[in-house]
Structure 1
Amino acid sequence: MREAWRWFGPNDPVSIADIRQTGATDIVSALHTIPTGEVWPVEQIQAHKELIEKDNTPQCSLVWSVVESIAVHEDIKLGRENNQRYVDAWITSMENLAKCGIKTICYNFMPVIDWTRTDLKFQLPNGGYALRFDQQKFAAFDLYILKRENAEADYSDDELRQAKLTLLAMSEDEKALLTKNIIAGLPGKMTDGYTIDNFRNMLENYKDITKDILRKNLFSFLAQVLPKAEQLGVKLAIHPDDPPRDMLGLPRIICTSEDLDILFSALPSPANGITLCAGTYGSRPDNNLPLMAKVYGSRIHFAHLRGVCRDKNEQRSFYEAEHLSSDVDMVGVISALLAEEKSRDVGETSHEIFIRPDHGHQILDDINKQGNPGYSCIGRLKGLAEIRGVIKALKSVA
């Protein structure tokens, strides 16, 4: 497997020099300064690539290998009549990346919001900090802060009562922070942050968009992108919806094995693949991650190896756990990925799967540093070391 590390560019507190010390060989990155829907020019791709690779030596080199992500414009997700120019721009960006030798692209099709958490600094018993999604806090936001129209219909009487109690227990500062965490944008997300009013307006755009319509719009987009990806040798790796369920009245369509079966049945192109995000899929108890890694092995072009621990009494709530201590059988997942690699033609240059540690805890010296939530250095390094140990152990007994 190819050990990768996500880098957010020159403003990332974790520098390329820092990353070299982790032992990772590949970089996952994107051109975050280019607005959604615009073309990524070759010159800017090459300049970003040069920032990553300029100090390479034979003994210590890094390669920009995976893009995460080229954002898909909302007009494509909505199926609007003017969306063709955004599809064309996406394809041109893919072509330009291929010209620069970057041929694995992670992307998602989540409406309005990207990955969502209610707490960006949830304290753990050991004193470290993790990301957390709290369903009661999220319901309190949806019902009583956002005041989404007809939101009550999505909740039971008990959930309505619990959400109200949760809201009453929060200070004004806590309400403001919760709102910011949900709608103001997270590091790495490829859409702009929102104000509460334009967030409501964005949600309103989707009032008539059902799961079937959103899936149709995804298939229409991919029907145009995949043939060109095949010609270029590019592998597309769709990331699951995070959390993987409908929320805020928005449909989600990449959440379960059933969703993936529908996707691959409709579009069997070998370029049509997935990012196996163990933590995202694992936040649903009905997703069996080792089995998914086995069943969809040939479709896995990229993997986010992280785990979550779900609350016993509210399975929709979870926190980002240590990489090997969670509700996800990480050893089983890695074993399935290694078996998949072994089954691939070793003559192919793309037989190895790109993996990266994801959403590490904020621990030790990083606690007092400003960093991107979930992307502190030491926590991810710990996760990478644990993953590396599992891989070495499994290979030694294979």
Structure 2
Amino acid sequence: MLMHETMRWFGPHDIVSLKDIRQSGCAGVVTALHHIPVGDVWPVAEIQQRKSLIEAEGMSWTVVESLPVSEDIKRRSGNYPAHIENYKKSLQHLAACGIKVVTYNFMPVLDWVRTDISHTMPDGSKALYYERAAFVAFDLFMLKRPHAEKDYSTAEIETAEKWLHTHTDEQKNEVFRNALLGLPGSTGRFTPEEILAALETYKGIDASTLREHLFYFLKEVVPVAEQLGLKMAIHPDDPPYAVLGLPRVVSSESDLFAIVNAVPSPANGLCYCTGSLGVRPGNDLTGIIQRLGAHIHFLHLRNTRRDASGNFFEAGHLDGDADMVAIVRALLLLMKQRNVSLPVRPDHGHQMLDDLAKTTYPGYSCIGRLKGLAELRGLQIGLASVL
């Protein structure tokens, strides 16, 4: 049994078209209604319209990525009761339209962070890159977050100061722009004022409190999802540690265990992302499959390469720190044991070849993801033949 291959699509305005995805050999598309404000209900008509576009190209839409959780819900403040009720209604509408898996995350304010969205690789392709010293310099000396120095060691602060004094204004401005990028699928950026104001709303919310808020959300929505036959799949934090003083609670194997145990249900599960989890050295990627495999509902396969300084970049799908051969082998055994074909997508990809001349969403150019998909497809077919 092989994985159900999909590719992420950001909707009609995505430069990567449905025809492109169909030609990659994917059977399905992973998408979301990015134009609907976070916290609002996803109407059936809008869901059906998106589904019809995908089906007209000969593919299916069964995985949503993502149905966003509002900041009010994460903070458990403001309009959070209404937003939770709206979330339940959206789940009902998605189930009525044939959706099977709903992906979401619980990262405060920023969904992901990189300092360079076009890092040049030795072969000339472009990759996403996180440079720890550059980000600390951004936080301390560009954004000037109040009391940020408390979150860094003396050595990190000294390294950030050195970075600041050895880089040009254009390099600093590039880091500044990249660190303020908005949600995946968006070309917008936060302003410094918006970020600082958002951070202020999380004052007093530590990891323990944020975890309590996540569990409260799960206790509200998971029973609804279970009744509807939906699978909820939480995406790990990216990167899997605190950012700008904001806590992260979906970063380690112990975090994942706490989540699935908070509301025991076949509907309460995980999006297994080798990229996000792999950046944290202590995460045992194959062990997570073996110990938490029953709760995995969606797969993101990508690779990163990290160093001792906290830097990491998006490597080729088979070339990073993650042992993708062992991971795919473990996933194939898991699917055989569970008698299920898990949906998978090649997450991110290098910008390369003709795509170098195009403006695409960071990490989501077509050819790089197609290369990753081809590598992963060959790997799983080869492994499946001997298992």
What TM-score, normalized by structure 1, do the two folds share? 0.94
Q: Secondary structure at the match of 2:322?
A: coil
CA shift for structure 1 position 175: 2.4
Give the equivalent residue in structure 2 for 1:19.
Answer: 21
* Aligned residue among 168, 181, 205 for 1:171: 168
Separation (CA, whole Å) in 2 of partners of 1:375 and 1:69: 15
Separation (CA, whole Å) in 2 of partners of 1:134 and 1:299: 33
Q: What is the percentage of aligned positions where both structures have the same residue?
A: 49
* Aligned residue among 369, 373, 384 for 2:362: 373
CA shift for structure 1 position 81: 5.1
Separation (CA, whole Å) in 2 of partners of 1:371 and 1:194: 19
Q: Is the contact between residue 303 and residue 322 of structure 2 (CA under 8 Å) also seen in structure 1?
A: yes
* Aligned residue among 66, 85, 90 for 1:93: 90
Paired residues in the alignment total 385
Q: Is the contact between residue 257 and residue 292 of structure 2 (CA under 8 Å) also seen in structure 1?
A: no
Give the equivalent residue in structure 1 for 2:321.
Answer: 327
The residue type paired with residue 326 of structure 2 is G
2:244 aligned with 1:248, yes or no?
yes
Give the equivalent residue in structure 1 for 2:203.
Answer: 207
Give the equivalent residue in structure 2 for 1:32.
Answer: 34
CA shift for structure 1 position 50: 1.1
Q: Secondary structure at the match of 2:21?
A: helix
2:5 aligned with 1:3, yes or no?
yes
Q: Is the contact between residue 116 and residue 175 of structure 2 (CA under 8 Å) also seen in structure 1?
A: yes
Separation (CA, whole Å) in 2 of partners of 1:257 and 1:201: 32
Following superposition of structure 1 onto structure 2, how do residues 1-398 of structure 1 map, counting pairs within 5 Å? 1-55=3-57, 61-80=58-77, 82-188=79-185, 193-311=189-307, 313-314=308-309, 316-344=310-338, 346=339, 351-398=340-387
CA shift for structure 1 position 289: 0.6
Separation (CA, whole Å) in 2 of partners of 1:293 and 1:362: 29
The residue type paired with residue 386 of structure 2 is V
CA shift for structure 1 position 186: 4.4
CA shift for structure 1 position 177: 2.2
Q: Secondary structure at the match of 1:325?
A: coil
Q: Secondary structure at the match of 1:361?
A: coil
CA shift for structure 1 position 51: 1.2
Q: Is the contact between residue 118 and residue 132 of structure 1 (CA under 8 Å) also seen in structure 2?
A: yes
CA shift for structure 1 position 106: 0.7
Separation (CA, whole Å) in 2 of partners of 1:201 and 1:373: 25
Q: Specify every segment of 5 or more residues in structure 1 that has no aligned partner in the other structure, as ranges.
A: 56-60
CA shift for structure 1 position 155: 1.3
Q: Is the contact between residue 306 and residue 357 of structure 1 (CA under 8 Å) also seen in structure 2?
A: yes
CA shift for structure 1 position 172: 2.8
Separation (CA, whole Å) in 1 of partners of 2:52 and 2:177: 34
Q: Secondary structure at the match of 2:233?
A: strand
Q: CA RMSD in A?
A: 1.3
Q: Is the contact between residue 207 and residue 249 of structure 1 (CA under 8 Å) also seen in structure 2?
A: no
CA shift for structure 1 position 382: 0.5
The residue type paired with residue 53 of structure 2 is L
Q: Secondary structure at the match of 1:342?
A: helix
Separation (CA, whole Å) in 2 of partners of 1:222 and 1:244: 20
Separation (CA, whole Å) in 1 of partners of 2:294 and 2:111: 26
Separation (CA, whole Å) in 2 of partners of 1:160 and 1:16: 46
CA shift for structure 1 position 284: 0.8
CA shift for structure 1 position 187: 3.1
Separation (CA, whole Å) in 2 of partners of 1:175 and 1:86: 38
Q: Deviations over 1:77-130 (max 9, x none)?
A: 101153100001111111111110012011000001001111100001111110
CA shift for structure 1 position 170: 2.8
The residue type paired with residue 178 of structure 1 is V
The residue type paired with residue 147 of structure 2 is N
Separation (CA, whole Å) in 1 of partners of 2:294 and 2:342: 10
Separation (CA, whole Å) in 1 of partners of 2:199 and 2:269: 28
Q: Is the contact between residue 115 and residue 129 of structure 2 (CA under 8 Å) also seen in structure 1?
A: yes
CA shift for structure 1 position 184: 3.1
CA shift for structure 1 position 220: 0.5
Q: Is the contact between residue 68 and residue 107 of structure 1 (CA under 8 Å) also seen in structure 2?
A: yes
Separation (CA, whole Å) in 1 of partners of 2:223 and 2:183: 32
Separation (CA, whole Å) in 1 of partners of 2:64 and 2:117: 24
Q: Is the contact between residue 184 and residue 195 of structure 1 (CA under 8 Å) also seen in structure 2?
A: no
Q: Deviations over 1:217-274 (max 9, x none)?
A: 0011110100010011000000001000012110000000111111122211111100
CA shift for structure 1 position 131: 0.3
Most deviating of 104-113 and 367-376: 367-376
